[in-house]
Structure 1
Amino acid sequence: MCGLVALWMAGALLSLPKEVSLERIVQVALERGYTAQGEMFSAADMAKLATEVFPCQAELLSGGLEGHNHERILRHLSAGFPVLIPYDEDSNHEPCFRSGYKAHWAIASGALLGLKSGSQMPPCQEDTEISGLFHASPCVSIFPLDAVAETYLLSKQGKSCRYQLWNYIRVQESNAQLTDFSPKRAADGKVYIMPAGGVREGLCGKAVLLQPKAPDGSNPSE
């Protein structure tokens, strides 16, 4: 139930007026036919489920995590909102490349940016304990990508109680090669809900951006 657990964890970051239990999320997913065993092989269904269980807005990104979507994700994280990202999970929970056989969901809640030497520093405050680490002020939307040398995502997934820093390029590449359903799962005798087009259509190059609804129903990030 990694996707449903990731969605539940995302709810804790949305400042919702009322907590929604994991049991409720699972119940709705089963009732809507999004899942049979707790699996979520469709990012589109994940986005729909999020708006059904939370008073939130969900934006489905497609076409990969690079380029404009890279900037979109960083801007979303800098506003304090979570991102749900499917990827292949290695034994240490980090992204790997198994063609979708180890497809998993993680939640990203922040980013660590390494700036190129000589880049102009936006309004930031240096960490009191770690020299060279700066915290962006709330007024900073995001740094220009041409000033960023490296990007790491502050990520967490349901099998671990700890956050990890993942190299953005590795996450992007893991997300981009989600193409096939695990033969081991296919032969285990269980029923799984798979979208038309399979894992490639449901997860490859996809991510889900979540944010709470504004009181007037507008997009609070605009």
Structure 2
Amino acid sequence: MTSRSPALKPPIPPRAPASPAPIIPPPPVAAGPPDLAFPLPPWSPQVPGPPPPPLPPPPPATGAAPPHVFGLEKSQLLKKALEKAGPVPRGREDVKRLLKLHKDRFRSDLQWILFCADLPSLIQEGPQCGLVALWMAGTLLLPPSGIPLERLVQVAMERGYTAQGEMFSVADMGRLAQEVLGCQATLLCGGLGGPNRDLVLQHLVTGHPLLIPYDEDFNHEPCQRKGHKAHWAVSAGVLLGVPAVPSLGYAEDPELPGLFHPVLSKPCQSPPLPEEGSLGAVYLLSKQGKSWHYKLWDYNQVRDSNLQLTDFSPLRATDGRAYVVPAGGVRAGLCGQALLLRPWDSSH
């Protein structure tokens, strides 16, 4: 059987109402944990308080305080999201294509185990990358079709989480996931390394999605631009490089020797998780809203990109559009954070 990850924390509590004044992200400050309005998960170095209360009922249609936004006076309603039909590459086949195409990127001294869940493809329209990633994750939480993207956009705008589809707060993304998808959402703080690394890998091995903010390079891969290219992806699997594959519950791929898949109909021995210092041994199987295909990203590359999201893009700040950014800016909303999602009835 696969390793069971620790029980996830109860629902993320509601965000405090925002004041009507526009908020401009402050300049970078000394490194430190973000100032959050709710306790960190139990695996954080900080000691958590008692479980937070459940989400409150939706706010009334009138009388709610306006959100913190850039260019509120120029705000436009988000166009109706367009879900474009297109090819949906299966995760296993996409990974095999990448392994064949980039043989030199993967260590030949290791055997590889692929855990993956199939996600649909959806190309984003405008700055919707976070909501598109959440929509894709929702198809694993509420199969087979999930929740319409239009519903996610509508609720996010009604709650003041977004002005036109952008999401600059992992905590707000968690609240939205809990309310609309009815799932468990655990905010991961302190980065993807250290003790959080095994938690993330165990979560993916059990088949649950992970939402990650990162800086997007020209080829959609993670890079380091101080948050100026902030983007979202959903990971729905992991490729592990191990010295030897456990004998119970795995089958070697008939086309690619050295690649193994768990046999779903049989008991499966827990795979050994590569140590954090093992370079090139862990790859996240990810999708984001600008490509039909899966990506295989080196775990350390994603970790480093996620940990340096500190600044709001100057281009966005002056483009005349509205953006909802939390108090404390991009550093408080995205830096070193990710979101673990799973169904409430999950036993893992």
TM-score (norm 2): 0.59
CA 1:122–1:82: 2 relative to 1, 3 Å = farther
Larger Rg: 2
Separation of aligned partners in 2, 1:193 and 1:36: 6
Contact kept, 8 Å, 2:142 with 2:181, in 1: the verdict is: no
Matched, 1:60 2:187: yes
Counterpart residue identity of residue 45, structure 1:
D
Separation of aligned partners in 2, 1:200 and 1:73: 21
Which residue does 1:133 correspond to in 2? 259
Q: CA deviation at 1:146?
A: 3.0
Which residue does 2:310 correspond to in 1? 179
Which residue does 1:144 correspond to in 2? 273
Tell me, which stretches of 5 or more residues in structure 1 are unaligned?
A: none
Separation of aligned partners in 1, 2:347 and 2:176: 20
CA 1:5–1:69: 2 relative to 1, 3 Å = same
Matched, 1:21 2:148: yes
Q: CA deviation at 1:91?
A: 1.1
Counterpart residue identity of residue 210, structure 2:
V
Separation of aligned partners in 1, 2:144 and 2:286: 24
State the identity %: 60
* Structure with higher helix content: 1
Higher deviation after alignment, 18-27 or 61-70: 18-27
Separation of aligned partners in 1, 2:302 and 2:241: 16
* Structure with higher strand content: 1
Separation of aligned partners in 2, 1:17 and 1:65: 29
Contact kept, 8 Å, 2:204 with 2:237, in 1: the verdict is: yes
The CA deviation string for residues 133-190 of structure 1, in whole angstroms up to 9 with x for no partner, is 1123553444233396510000100111100100000000000110000000001122
Q: CA deviation at 1:70?
A: 0.9
Secondary structure in 1 matching 2:323: coil
CA 1:30–1:140: 2 relative to 1, 3 Å = farther
Q: Name the Cα RMSD after superposition.
A: 1.8
Which residue does 2:284 correspond to in 1? 153
TM-score (norm 1): 0.91
CA 1:194–1:16: 2 relative to 1, 3 Å = same
Secondary structure in 2 matching 1:169: helix
CA 1:73–1:141: 2 relative to 1, 3 Å = farther
